[in-house]
Amino acid sequence: MTVNKRPGDASESIATPRLRLIACGALARELLAIINQLPPDVADLTCLPAAWHNHPEKIVPGIKVKVKAARKAGFTPVVIYGDCGTGGQLDTFLDAENIARIPGPHCYHSFMGEADFDAAMDQELGTFFLTDYMVRHFERIVMKGMGLRDHPHLRDIYFAHYKRVLYIAQTDDAALVEKARQAAATLQLDYDYHYTGYGDYTAFLHNLCSRRQPSVATS
């Protein structure tokens, strides 16, 4: 026999709101891979343009819009961003709204973890980092985005204090390794490699998932 539940019925369950990850577009591929490891329907992803790293004044207003939309749709917003040049404004907003974000100042720190990142900086302060995303889009982001393709002399201005390129890889991809080597040569910098996988992002999202309250019955 089928029992039709009415609102307020003692047997009615209240589902925990799904998580909506609000992230930088440069992390989309990695975050989707992690989401696919989580239980079904726990989280979805929405992204802001990766190019906004060059316009950090757009990040907080953009996140505010995404947060409002997430809550209106019944999601719990979670922010997957570092400070990313917002000068503390991002955390000021998130603290006021009681919204979680992954710890750390930027994605290099989150991919490597604090200890490895600090060690890399101790080894060579003049380090220019590349992630998988940056290697894939090096021509657009660096050569064209920074004006180096049209104005090669800018290389000596922008990279005067850099000594090496450090490719922190999320995947084991020989083609990307070769592209990263070529990028270092183009910038006339030494080349180093460090495999990180998805770094702190995996643990952060799995911990969020495990802390979600299970569905409960009303009384």
Q: Tell me, what CATH number does 87's domain have?
A: 3.40.50
Kindly state the tokens that stand for 31: 């975050």
Residues 118 and 95 in one domain: no
User: Which helix (H) or strand (E) element contains residue 95?
Assistant: helix 89-97
Residues 187 and 79 in one domain: no
Residue 8 resides in a domain: no
Residue 92 resides in a domain: yes
- Structural domain tally of the chain? 2
Which residue range forms the structural domain that includes residue 190? 114-195
> What gap in Å lies between CA 137 and CA 186, rounded to an integer?
14
Instruction: Report helix, strand and coil shares of the chain as percent, to nearest 5.
Output: 45, 20, 35
Residues 129 and 170 in one domain: yes
Residue 130 resides in a domain: yes
Q: Each residue's pLDDT tens digit in the chain (219 positions)?
A: 333 333 344 333 335 679 999 999 999 999 999 999 999 889 999 999 998 988 899 999 999 999 999 999 999 999 999 999 999 999 999 999 999 999 999 999 999 999 999 999 999 999 999 999 999 999 999 999 999 999 999 999 999 999 999 999 999 999 999 999 999 999 999 999 999 999 999 999 999 888 765 443 343
Residues 26 and 77 in one domain: yes
Residues 49 and 70 in one domain: yes
Residues 130 and 183 in one domain: yes
Residues 26 and 70 in one domain: yes
Residues 58 and 101 in one domain: yes
171 touches 198 (CB < 8 A): no
Residues 98 and 35 in one domain: yes
